[in-house]
Amino acid sequence: MSAGKTEIDLSKYEKKIYSQNGEDGVIEKIFEMIGTTSKNYVEFGVEGGWECNTRYIRESCGWYGLLMDMGYENHTINLQKEVITAENINSLFTKYQVPQEFDMLSIDIDFNDFYIWIEISKHYRPRVVVIEYNATHLPNIDKVAVYHPYSYWDGSNYFGASILALYRLGNKTEYSLIYAEDRGINLFFIRDDVLDRCPIQFKDTNCVDLIYKYPKYGSGPNGGHNADPFNRSYLSADFLLKY
């Protein structure tokens, strides 16, 4: 622990209000500790916006921002119907006037999340990133599903990226891994300069082995979704981040 900094264990603050799992309470505690700037968010992969990571802070804490989903639209909450790819994500941010720096980004499109974050990081610097990971893969495994712009989750455990792969992406783009929620679905990252100024320290920061949670949502490998019936190959973050 850094000298003079109190340690916060985010597992004590998980709380579900409108989020899928305990993300609402974790997000609330993170921003209690690091403060807010614009109270601006971007979240995509939200379906109709009724169960997502930003509804609580929008309805109860005065936040506002952009929601996107490929199948839903609701202009009263600024939910825009868009198909999101690595090729178009930054033009969508421009289209909807997303500022270069904002408080929180939440990514959950069930397949290409790793590649989308890479592209966003080239132009935008959210203070906090929440992103889905594939907890089927143990914390010593660096795996990323092969990219195709219109790939989608088929119900198997072939999707997304492992915790180690996303940790390496965060490290490359100057973000620290601070938490994984209890069901093994979402990871939480804070931008390094924001974390450096924070008066507290989050327990196990950047310790992949300690932060990792086994998936608690299926009967497949390690408690995750069923094994990929096609035995498709993966790439590694170590390989992808060289280019």
For 133-161, the pLDDT digits (tens) are 999 999 999 999 999 999 999 999 999 99
Are 156 and 229 in contact, with CB atoms under 8 Å apart? yes
Decide: helix, strand or coil at residue 212.
coil
Give the residue-averaged pLDDT of 38-52. 97
Task: For residue range 168-186, list pLDDT tens digits in order.
Answer: 999 999 999 999 999 999 9
- Asked whether residue 1 carries a pLDDT value surpassing 60, the answer given is no
Domain ranges across the chain: 6-240
Cβ of 59: how many Cβ atoms within 10 Å?
12
DSSP H helical ranges for the chain: 23-34, 55-60, 89-95, 113-121, 163-172, 192-197, 208-211, 237-240
- Least confident interval from 3-7, 13-17, 34-38, 130-134: 3-7
Cβ of 70: how many Cβ atoms within 10 Å?
14
Are 178 and 10 in contact, with CB atoms under 8 Å apart? yes
pTM: 0.97
CATH dotted code for 6-240 = 3.40.50
Smallest CA-to-CA distance from 241 within 179, 167, 186 is with 167
